[in-house]
C-alpha cells in the first residue's frame, strides 16, 4: 500500500487536504471521491529512510549535522515535495472567451461524432495555439487518465472554467449527455459574447465624440483664446468686452493657471470612486445606479434579465438541480442588486415556495418576466420558458442598443456644437466691434 496526499474540494467548494492509503493512483482517487470530495491534485508521498541514531553525547556541531537530514526530510516530504499540481495556467489569468467557446464547440462536435473524450481533448490540444489553454488541456488529460472525471479535472482551472461551466459538465456526465451540454455551453457563450460586443460597440462612438469635444475645447481654451485676448487688448485699448467673451476668457485663464489642479481633481474622483466601489455598500450603490441610470439603465436591466434567464434556463435544461442553479446564477450575475434578488428566490425555493413572489419584489424583473416564470412553474416547463424569456430580451437588448445609439449620437453632436459655437461667437463679437470701429475711422 502506498500513501497519497491530496487536495480536494467539498460540495461547498471549500478546499480539503489530507492523506490516504491505496494500492495505486486510481484507487486513491476513487477513495477520495467516496468521501464526497472532488480531488484536484494527488501525488504519492515518497518514503525516506530514517536517519541513523546519533551518539548519546555528540558534540554540539555534530548534533546540528545529525539534525539536518531530519529537517530536510520534514521539508521535502508530503505535499511540498511529491504532489503534482497541474495548475501553472491557473495562476496566469483567464483565457479569451473566443478561445474557450471555440474549444467547447469543437469538443462537442467531436464527442457527438462518437470520438472518446480523451481522444477529443488530445486532438484539440495538438491544434491549440493559446499556450495557457494548451497547458490546461494537458493537465486535464492527465487527471482524466489517472481516473478522474472531466468535471473534476476542470475544477483545477477555475479562471478558465467557471462554476457554470463545471456544473453543467458535471450534469452532462451524470445524465450521459455531455455532447449536448457542451453544445449548450458553446451556444450560451456565443450569445453572451455577442450581446457584450453589441453594448461595447454602441459605446465606442459616444466615447470618441466626447473625447473629441474635450480635446477641441481644451485646445481652444489653451492655445487659441489667449491670442484673441491679446488682439482685443491691443485693438480695443481696454474697452469692456461682451459678457460672453469675458466668461470664455476667464475660463481660458482658469484652465491655463490651474491645469494641475484640474488633473488632480479628476484623478482624485477616479481614485475615490475605485476605493468606494470596492466596499460592499459602495459597490451595491454603483450597481443600483447602473440599473436606474436615465439613459443606460434600461439597457443594463434588459441585459441583466437576459443573462439571468439564459444562464438559469441553460443550467436547468442540462439537469442541474434548481437550488444549485440559483446559487451559480447568483454568483455569476455581476450585479449585487440582482444577486440579492436571486438569493431571496433561492431561500423561497428552499422553503418549498415558488420563484414568482421573490422575483416580483425586485424592480429589475418586469411583470411580464414574473408572469412567464409563474407559467413555467405551473406547467413544469420552467427551463423552456426561461430560454424563451432570454431570447425575447436578447431582441430587447438589440433594440435598446439601437435606441440608445440613436439618442446619444445627436445629443453629443449638439453638445459639441454648442460648446464650440459659444467659443466662436464669444471671440467674434469683439471682432465685429473692432471692424465697425475701423470702418468708422476710415469713413
Give the pLDDT confidence of 334-377 residue by residue, as tens digits: 788 888 888 888 998 888 888 888 888 878 888 888 899 899 88
Query: Could you give the CA distance from residue 374 to residue 88 in angstroms, rounded to a whole number?
Result: 46
> Could you tell me which CATH number the domain at 89-161 has?
1.20.81.30
Looking at residue 47, its pLDDT comes to 58
| CATH topology classification for 196-443 | Receptor-associated Protein (1.20.81)
Q: What tens digit of pLDDT does each residue of 294-333 get?
A: 777 888 888 888 888 888 888 888 788 888 888 888 887 8
Query: Could you give the CA distance from residue 173 to residue 24 in angstroms, rounded to a whole number?
Result: 24
Where residue 239 falls among pLDDT bands split at 50, 70, 90? confident
Burial profile 63-82: b = 16 or more Cβ within 10 angstroms, e = fewer? eeeeeeeeeeeeeeebbeeb
Query: Could you give the CA distance from residue 79 to residue 83 in angstroms, rounded to a whole number?
Result: 5
Question: Is residue 39 classed as helix, strand or coil in its secondary structure?
Answer: strand
With pLDDT > 70 as the criterion, what percentage of the chain qualifies? Answer: 85
Helix (DSSP H) and strand (DSSP E) numbers for the chain: 19, 3
Query: Could you give the CA distance from residue 194 to residue 439 in angstroms, rounded to a whole number?
Result: 64
Looking at residue 271, its pLDDT comes to 93
Where residue 268 falls among pLDDT bands split at 50, 70, 90? very high
Looking at residue 70, its pLDDT comes to 41
CA distances from 65 to 77, 89, 90 (A): 19, 40, 40
Sheet holding 2-9, edge to edge: 15-22, 2-9, 38-44
Query: Could you give the CA distance from residue 139 to residue 83 in angstroms, rounded to a whole number?
Result: 13
Q: Residue 222 carries which DSSP code?
A: I
Q: What tens digit of pLDDT does each residue of 93-111 get?
A: 577 888 888 898 899 888 8
Residues 6+ apart with CB under 8 A from 285: 276
Closest CA to 45 of 2, 1, 8: 2
Q: What tens digit of pLDDT does each residue of 42-56 get?
A: 777 765 444 444 444
**Above 80 in pLDDT, residue 76?**
no
**Above 80 in pLDDT, residue 285?**
yes
Question: Is residue 177 classed as helix, strand or coil in its secondary structure?
Answer: coil
**Cell triple for 341:** 434578488
Q: What tens digit of pLDDT does each residue of 401-428 get?
A: 777 777 777 888 888 888 888 888 888 8
Question: Is residue 361 classed as helix, strand or coil in its secondary structure?
Answer: coil
Rounded to 10 degrees, what is the CA torsion of 249, 254, 257, 259? -120
Helix extents (H) in 237-335:
243-257, 259-278, 280-292, 297-317, 322-332
Looking at residue 442, its pLDDT comes to 62
Looking at residue 272, its pLDDT comes to 93
Which bin fits 399, alpha (ψ -120 to 50), beta or left (φ > 0)? alpha
Q: What tens digit of pLDDT does each residue of 240-261 get?
A: 788 888 888 888 888 888 878 8
User: For all residues of the chain together, what is the average pLDDT?
Assistant: 79
Q: What tens digit of pLDDT does each residue of 142-170 get?
A: 888 887 888 888 888 888 888 778 888 88
Amino acid at each position: 500500500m502506498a500513501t497519497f496526499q491530496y487536495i480536494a474540494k467539498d460540495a461547498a467548494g471549500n478546499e480539503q487536504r489530507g492523506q490516504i492509503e491505496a494500492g495505486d493512483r486510481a484507487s486513491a482517487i476513487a477513495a477520495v471521491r467516496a468521501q464526497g470530495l472532488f480531488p484536484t491534485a494527488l501525488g504519492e508521498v515518497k518514503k525516506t529512510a530514517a536517519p541513523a541514531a546519533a551518539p548519546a553525547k555528540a558534540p554540539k556541531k555534530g548534533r546540528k549535522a545529525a539534525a539536518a537530514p531530519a529537517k530536510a526530510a520534514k521539508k521535502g516530504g508530503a505535499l511540498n515535495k511529491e504532489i503534482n499540481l497541474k495548475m501553472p495556467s491557473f495562476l496566469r489569468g483567464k483565457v479569451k472567451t473566443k478561445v474557450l467557446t471555440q474549444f467547447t464547440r469543437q469538443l462537442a462536435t467531436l464527442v457527438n461524432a462518437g470520438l472518446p473524450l480523451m481522444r477529443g481533448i488530445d486532438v484539440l490540444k495538438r491544434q491549440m495555439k493559446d499556450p495557457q489553454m494548451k497547458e490546461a488541456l494537458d493537465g486535464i488529460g492527465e487527471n482524466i487518465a489517472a481516473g478522474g472525471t472531466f468535471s473534476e479535472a476542470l475544477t483545477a482551472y477555475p479562471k478558465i472554467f467557471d462554476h457554470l461551466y463545471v456544473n453543467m459538465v458535471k450534469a452532462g456526465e451524470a445524465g450521459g449527455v455531455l455532447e449536448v451540454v457542451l453544445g449548450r455551453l458553446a451556444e450560451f457563450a456565443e450569445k453572451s459574447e455577442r450581446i457584450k460586443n453589441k453594448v461595447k460597440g454602441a459605446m465606442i462612438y459616444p466615447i470618441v465624440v466626447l473625447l473629441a469635444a474635450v480635446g477641441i475645447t481644451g485646445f481652444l481654451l489653451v492655445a487659441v483664446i489667449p491670442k484673441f485676448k491679446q488682439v482685443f487688448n491691443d485693438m480695443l485699448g481696454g474697452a469692456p468686452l461682451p459678457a460672453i467673451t469675458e466668461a470664455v476668457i476667464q475660463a481660458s485663464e482658469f484652465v491655463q493657471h490651474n491645469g494641475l489642479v484640474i488633473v488632480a481633481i479628476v484623478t482624485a474622483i477616479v481614485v475615490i470612486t475605485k476605493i468606494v466601489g470596492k466596499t460592499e455598500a459602495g459597490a451595491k450603490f454603483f450597481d443600483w445606479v447602473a440599473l436606474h441610470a436615465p439613459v443606460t439603465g434600461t439597457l443594463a436591466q434588459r441585459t441583466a434579465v437576459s443573462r439571468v434567464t439564459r444562464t438559469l434556463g441553460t443550467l436547468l435544461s442540462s439537469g442541474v438541480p434548481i437550488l444549485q442553479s440559483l446559487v451559480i446564477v447568483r454568483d455569476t450575475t455581476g450585479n449585487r442588486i440582482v444577486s440579492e434578488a436571486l438569493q431571496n428566490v433561492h431561500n423561497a425555493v428552499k422553503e418549498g415556495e415558488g420563484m414568482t413572489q421573490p422575483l416580483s419584489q425586485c424592480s429589475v424583473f418586469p411583470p411580464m418576466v414574473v408572469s412567464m416564470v409563474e407559467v413555467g412553474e405551473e406547467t413544469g416547463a420552467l427551463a423552456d420558458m426561461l430560454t424563451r424569456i432570454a431570447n425575447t430580451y436578447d431582441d430587447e437588448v438589440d433594440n435598446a442598443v439601437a435606441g440608445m445609439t440613436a439618442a446619444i449620437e445627436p445629443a453629443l453632436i449638439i453638445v459639441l456644437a454648442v460648446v464650440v459655437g459659444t467659443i466662436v461667437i464669444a471671440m467674434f463679437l469683439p471682432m465685429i466691434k473692432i471692424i465697425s470701429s475701423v470702418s468708422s475711422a476710415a469713413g
